[in-house]
Amino acid sequence: MGILGYARVSTGDQDLSGQRRPAGAVRIFEDVISGREFERPGLASLLDYAREGDSLCVVRLDRLGRSLRQLIETVDQLKGNGIGMTSLEEKLDTTSAAGELIFHMLGAIAHFERRLIAERTRDGIAAARAKGRTPGRPPLDGDKLQAAFSLIDSGMSPTKVARQLQVGRSTLYRALSER
């Protein structure tokens, strides 16, 4: 019976060291990947390594998953394999009935909060459009766009062109597809 730590950050710019503190962890598995991604190699390795009676420990629930569905599926998979889950910040332990209930309540609240944010964003965009404003980035300047096309036509990659001209890469790719 051992404690297995799991740490995740979304980008390489972020630091995992603050999540490497699960007390008594015999091994810590790590991912540098968005929480929205279901396929996470570090978590998959942890699940392969874990045995019945082990416990997965995370610093915060959001490190384990971003969506309610993802969290529930992961905890259900753990439970099915006889593996508990603890979250240090939320002081949560799913090996007890009360801990499992609190886990589901916290997950539902997080899901509700994300839905509220999405609704407020849609409402804000609709309000801006009603006032005649167009939300989002301003359109690409014609001169800058021609310079971008020239650089790309000369063999430079769109990613390098976007970086050099300080424009969004997706904006540049969209302009290229409309060309």
**Mean pLDDT value of segment 131-148:** 86
Secondary structure of residue 21 in the 3-state scheme:
coil
Domains of the chain as residue ranges with CATH: 3-108 (3.40.50.1390), 142-178 (1.10.10)
Instruction: Return the DSSP state at 19.
Output: G
Flag whether pLDDT at 22 surpasses 60: no
Question: Tens digits of per-residue pLDDT, 149-161?
Answer: 999 999 999 989 9
Q: Let me know how many helices (H) and strands (E) the chain has, helices first.
A: 7, 5
- What would the DSSP string read from start to end of 85-98? EEETTTTEETTSHH
pLDDT, averaged across the chain: 84
Dihedrals φ, ψ of 56, to 5°?
-85, 135
162 within 8 A of 137, measured Cβ to Cβ? no
Secondary structure of residue 27 in the 3-state scheme:
strand
| Cα-only R_g, the chain | 22
Neighbour tally for 176: CB within 10 Å: 14
* Burial category of 62 from C-beta neighbours within 10 Å (exposed 0-12, middle 13-18, buried 19 and up): middle
pTM exceeds 0.85: no
Catalytic residue list: 10
